[in-house]
Amino acid sequence: MTEKKIVMKAIVVTDRAAGTAGMTLVERPEPRAAINDVVVQVHASGFTGDELTWPSTWTDRVGRDRTPSIPGHELAGVVTALGYGTTGLSIGQRVFGLTDWYRDGTLAEYVAVEARNLTPLPGDVDFTVGAALVMPGLTAWQGLFEHGRLQAGQSVLVHGAAGAVGSMVTQLAREAGAYVIGTGRAADRQTVLDFGAQEFVDLDNDALEDVGGVDLVFDVLGGDIAKRSAGLIRAGGTLVSIVGPTEARPADGLAVDFVVESDRAQLSEIVRRARDGRVRTNIGNVATLDDAVAAFNPTERIKGKTIIRVHPRGLGDCLTPTKVQFTRRRRV
């Protein structure tokens, strides 16, 4: 007798040269929970536009081909299985978080994740909101407070402030008592001011140098903008980049580039602020898993994050563990 496989729907990529056009919706075996993992039924998933250029999308940590791989590393969902030795989370629990870059990701019905990468998602926070908070929230928090050591009263220049990360940086910096100057395209002015920036610089038409000195630059653009921004940083200030090392460094300050990491305490702080209205998400589009390939190849530019609603009925709000197991079984 042959063993029946439990399958799920997932988006996979196999062709590195094809970019997002190479994403396909297929059936894949459901993941199993390894030591200290949980399996999560994905309710909402997020994806970063340039993820398919990252080496970790294509290889494992020792450089071996791991295609076909499932992209997407942000999620909100419900725990359906626990691995050997896993503690701290339970079956049926609502969670959200960031998954390992080198493992299959969240554009799927189920994903196996190390429990330490997940944070409990409060019952009154929608899965879509939870998934949209993860990457912008953690990136903004770590860039501002860990790497940028932002203090109340300091000034921050936030590039791409109408975007997914920049809008969260703007909100958290304002809340921390900083003076925020946001940048973007001319059409982004009102959006950036609505997210809380006190000033706006239109990068196509205004002179960036007119900003004067700032304590911190949060860069999401790189290139020439990053180079010119380095010259604006006051003595003791910091240039924080999330798009790789910058050529130019502040004359008398620090330049830091980093990749966001999971952090349960930080994600708890961020969701607390979302619940009490201190921060809001920047969601430009919500699509289903069936429409995810088209959603990542839009015919026009989507402002803000695209979130894939994998289980649109919000089952996690009411499911018992038994029902979770029942709903997840589909055999071929």
Ligand X SMILES: NC(=O)c1ccc[n+]([C@@H]2O[C@H](COP(=O)([O-])OP(=O)(O)OC[C@H]3O[C@@H](n4cnc5c(N)ncnc54)[C@H](OP(=O)(O)O)[C@@H]3O)[C@@H](O)[C@H]2O)c1
Residue 224 Cβ, how far from ligand X at the closest point, in Å?
A: 9
Residue nearest to ligand X (CB): 163
Instruction: Select the residue interacting with ligand X from 31, 46, 71, 160 (CB under 6 A).
Output: 160
Strands 179-184 and 155-158: parallel
* Bridge partners for 6 per DSSP: 331
For residues 6 and 23, give the distance between their C-alpha atoms in angstroms, rounded to a whole number.
22
Instruction: Select the residue interacting with ligand X from 72, 163, 182, 316 (CB under 6 A).
Output: 163
Range 283-302, binding ligand X (CB under 6 A): 301
Helix, strand, or coil (residue 301): coil
Using CB under 6 A as the binding rule, whether residue 115 contacts ligand X is answered as no
Residue 204 Cβ, how far from ligand X at the closest point, in Å?
A: 6
Using CB under 6 A as the binding rule, whether residue 208 contacts ligand X is answered as no
Using CB under 6 A as the binding rule, whether residue 108 contacts ligand X is answered as no
Using CB under 6 A as the binding rule, whether residue 211 contacts ligand X is answered as no
For residues 101 and 110, give the distance between their C-alpha atoms in angstroms, rounded to a whole number.
16
**Would the CA dihedral through 87, 93, 94, 100 be positive or negative?**
positive
Closer to ligand X by CB, 31 or 166: give it. 166
Using CB under 6 A as the binding rule, whether residue 242 contacts ligand X is answered as yes
Using CB under 6 A as the binding rule, whether residue 267 contacts ligand X is answered as no
Using CB under 6 A as the binding rule, whether residue 260 contacts ligand X is answered as yes
Q: Which residues neighbour 12 within 8 Å (Cβ) at sequence distance 6 or greater?
A: 23, 24, 26, 28, 67, 68, 69, 70
Using CB under 6 A as the binding rule, whether residue 217 contacts ligand X is answered as no
In one-letter notation, the amino acid at residue 247 is E
Using CB under 6 A as the binding rule, whether residue 270 contacts ligand X is answered as no
Closer to ligand X by CB, 97 or 316: give it. 97
For residues 162 and 176, give the distance between their C-alpha atoms in angstroms, rounded to a whole number.
19
Among the residue ranges 6-14, 101-109, 158-166, 171-179, the one whose residues contact ligand X (CB under 6 A): 158-166
DSSP 48-92: -TTGGGSGGGTB-TTS-B--SB----EEEEEEEEE-TT--S--TT
Catalog residues that contact ligand X under the rule CB under 6 A.
Answer: 48, 50, 135, 139, 160, 162-166, 184-185, 188, 203, 220-221, 242-243, 259-260, 301, 303
